[in-house]
Amino acid sequence: RQGYEDPHWQYPAASYGDDYIYQSHQWQPVAWQEDRDLRQGEPYSKSTNYRDQHYYRGYHPNLATTPLGQDRTQTYNSYNESYAASARREWAAGETLGSDSGEASGQPQEPSLLLQYRELGLSSSSSELSQYIHDSADHYDPTLSGTWNPAQAGEPLVSTPAPVVPLKFLLPHMAVCFGARGQLVLVCPHHPAEGQLAHVELHSLEVILHDTKELEELQAFPGPLAREDLHKVDVVTFCQQKIATSCDLSTQSGRDSSLLWKLLVLLCRQNGSMVGSDTAELLMQDCRCRQKYKRQSPVANLIGLMDDEWMSCQPGSLDLITGEVPPVVETQAQIVEKFTKLLYYGRKKDALVWAMRNQLWGHALFLSSKMDPRTYSWVLTGFTSTLATNDPLQTLFQLMSGKIPQAALCCGDATWGDWRPHLAVMLSNKVGDMELNHRAIITMGDTLAGRGAVEAAHFCYLMADIPFGYFGAKADRMALLGSSHRQAFAQFARMEAIQRTEIFEYCQRLRQPESFLLPFQVYKLLYASCLADYGLPAQALQYCEQIATVLLGQDPASHPVLAQQVMKLAERLKLSDPLLLEMPEQDETLEPDWLVQLRACCREWEVR
């Protein structure tokens, strides 16, 4: 062609027209390559037609006059025979291709793939051949441009593509997987084809992880707690060990955690039942120190006197009625005598003021109760004003007055003091309105939860019989005992929280054998999966049996996902059942009855 002086571009038209694949990707002229790059953004059909026409006009002078819109299939049909004849002559010459292409690449060039397909009879249709050329030009396969062996000309075409992607492993490696029964399976890198024996090792995860903290906690817990051979002494011992090892009594959080464990011990010893006085004794026992609540002098305006009147009533001041200076009163008898003397003259209000000022609250309250209700309320307010704000007596009097105690709204603050005495006084002194008492305890729990004291809040919720909820329902007050469900699930579903909730469920079952916590069953499944991961499949299977028993007692369709997951885990762990292992070989296909029933319920739900 004009403009190209390099002798490598002077190809024979017939011989190089067939080797379209090699030329289109290896020896493209610069001018055609630039045209192709400029037209990459054009539609597929347009760029393809242009490239094909440009190629045949450039390398085949006979096609230079072909109209641009002529069908490419007709062009292939008209020159198909000339291509085949020319290729045969080229093959007979032996090294015709190698004269030009071989010098440039240093390797012998294979015959045209189009000719191979033609001679081997793989395709006799010119339209199929043209489609092959079209596909090869657009979808280049580097494996087709390998070295050609002339001996293959008379044999069936066998494709031996070279690997395009490097091997993932250059050397033999060890394959590892986890078994369903708490085992680690290792396949050693041996070559049985070379005479080496295949070697498979089975390792127990319980042995591998024997020194980890998580496995020690799993083994120390006497779960599942619904076993017939379990005694509640084992549960009490576990709780006491947790108090001694995991509760830092120097911190408020540690004391709250210890209190929650002690509550579980109390419930377990009393078979899940308790009264308010038992809990109050537990609360006061756990108090580190008894606070001294300082009493205050009654405020003058609460008694109804101005400052001048209050000073005139002080000892040593002139009595305006008698005109005498009363002596300084020092003894209790003199105070009572003065109170009686004022009543001689019918001065009830002055007698009340005298009694309130000298802490004769019994006399003042009794006298005011026989007077009008307003006076009684006035004296009662004066009495409560002498108590400290955080005094538990304030909590009791406010509760008995039909109000939510201020302690329920302010507890948990460092300046307020300990919350335990306030809850103890509310639990031990039930007022007439039980609904008010219930709301006061729940309010105290909400206040503690808002201040981050989750375990203290859950103690209050247990006292108010708040039911357990679900993790996704943020409006519920608790889902796992001692863990907030408003945090991330990984921090929420802690092993200790699951164990603590299971102990509470066990205590409830001691009182009512058929009772259970339905929202807690999903965390039992999570705990069973953890047991299987740490090489304890037998205990994990027992948990699956417990969950299945609960679901079969209910409607499994109400919790379909939970039922299916329990069934899948149980099917993997069923051979860990000692009863199945003792069966004869012909009975190995048998399954526990509960698993058969659970599978039937799941299939029924799917059909429904």
Average pLDDT, the chain: 75
| DSSP SS3 for 186 | strand
Q: Of 446, 479, 514, which closes a domain?
A: 514
Whether 395 and 503 map to the same domain: the answer is: yes
Q: Contact 511/527 with Cβ under 8 angstroms?
A: no
Q: Are 407 and 497 within one domain?
A: yes
Residues in the chain: 608
**Residue 455 in domain:** yes
The answer to whether 390 and 413 are in contact (CB under 8 A) is no
Asked whether the beta carbons of 579 and 594 are under 8 A apart, the reply is no
273 and 412 share one domain: yes
pLDDT per residue over 336-355, tens digit each?
Answer: 888 999 999 889 999 999 99
**Are 195 and 255 part of one and the same domain?**
no
Residue 247 CB neighbours (<10 A): 19
Residue 524 has what pLDDT? Answer: 96
Q: Kindly report the backbone phi and psi dihedral angles of residue 184, in degrees, each rounded to the nearest multiple of 5, phi listed first.
A: -110, 120
Q: What integer pLDDT is reported at residue 274 of this predicted model?
A: 86
Among candidate residues 514, 542, 565, the one where a domain is terminated? 514
Q: Give the pLDDT confidence score for residue 26 in this predicted structure.
A: 42
Residues 426 and 468 in one domain: yes
Distance CA 574, CA 540 (A): 10
Domain identity same for 432 and 475: yes
Residues 394 and 270 occupy one common structural domain: yes
187 pLDDT above the threshold of 80: yes
Taken in order 580, 585, 586, 589, the sign of the CA dihedral is positive
Whether 535 maps to a domain, the answer reads: yes
- Supply the pTM of this predicted model: 0.66
Same domain, 273 and 405: yes
Alpha helices in 370-452 (DSSP H): 373-384, 392-400, 407-410, 420-428, 434-450
563 assigned to some structural domain: yes
Residue 20 lies in a domain: no
Residue 102 clears pLDDT 70, i.e. is over it: no
Mean pLDDT of 21-47: 43
Banded model confidence at residue 290, pLDDT cuts 50, 70, 90: low
Give the pair of three-digit tokens for residue 174. Answer: 């060890």
In the block, which residue shows the tokens 């619904």? Answer: 226
Residue 19 has pLDDT above 90, yes or no: no
Task: Based on the fold, state whether residues 195 and 238 are members of the same structural domain.
Answer: no
Domain boundary among 514, 535, 569: 514
Domain-embedded: residue 54: no
Q: What is the DSSP letter of 329?
A: P
Contact indicator for 538, 570 with CB cutoff of 8 Å: no
* Amino acid 430: pLDDT: 80
Q: Which residue has the higher pLDDT, 474 or 49?
A: 474
Q: How large is the average pLDDT for residues 35-58?
A: 44
Q: What is the pLDDT of residue 429?
A: 87
- Of 80-94, 187-201, 252-266, the range with the lowest mean pLDDT is 80-94
pLDDT of residue 256: 93
- Residue 199: is its pLDDT beyond 50? yes
Q: Is residue 314 part of a domain?
A: no
Q: Are residues 398 and 273 in the same domain?
A: yes
CB-count burial class (<10 Å; 0-12, 13-18, 19+) for 223: buried
| pLDDT at position 432 | 74
- Does 82 have pLDDT greater than 80? no
Q: Based on the domain organization, do 416 and 553 belong to the same domain?
A: no
What are the CA-CA distances from residue 335 to residues 358, 378, 542 (Å)?
A: 7, 21, 75
pLDDT at 115: 54
Residue numbers of the domain that contains 189: 175-209
Residue 453: its pLDDT value, please?
94
- The tens digit of pLDDT for each residue in 129-141 reads 444 444 444 444 4
- pLDDT band at residue 50, thresholds of 50, 70 and 90? very low
Q: Once rounded to an integer, what is the mean pLDDT over residues 282-298?
A: 68
More confident position, 231 or 192: 231
- Number of domains comprising the chain: 3
Would you say residue 93 has pLDDT above 50? no
Percentage of residues in the chain having pLDDT higher than 90: 37
Helix ranges restricted to H, 202-328: 205-208, 213-220, 232-246, 252-269, 276-286, 300-303, 307-312
pLDDT at position 406 over 60: yes
Report whether pLDDT(21) > 90: no
Q: Per the domain annotation, does 499 fall within a domain?
A: yes
Q: How does pLDDT run across 515-568, given as a tens digit for each residue?
A: 899 999 999 999 999 999 999 999 999 999 999 999 998 876 788 899 999 999
Selected residue with higher pLDDT from 308 and 257: 257
Q: For residues 405 and 422, what is the distance between their CA atoms, to the nearest angstrom?
A: 9
Band (pLDDT 50/70/90 cuts) for residue 211 is confident
Q: Are residues 397 and 501 in the same domain?
A: yes
Question: Shortest CA distance to 544 belongs to which of 571, 517, 581?
Answer: 571
The Cα-based distances of 53 to 39, 66, 329 in angstroms read: 14, 8, 128
Percent over 70 (pLDDT), the chain: 64
Task: Return d(Cα 138, Cα 136) in angstroms, integer.
Answer: 6
Examine residue 253 and state whether it is found in any structural domain, yes or no.
Answer: yes
Q: What is the DSSP string of 450-502?
A: HTT-HHHHHHHHHHTTPPP--SS-TTSS-SBTTB-TTS-HHHHS-HHHHHHHH
**Number of C-beta neighbours around residue 369 at 10 A:** 12
Q: How confident is the model at residue 164 (pLDDT cuts 50, 70, 90)?
A: confident
Angle ∠(70,71,73) on CA atoms, nearest 5: 140
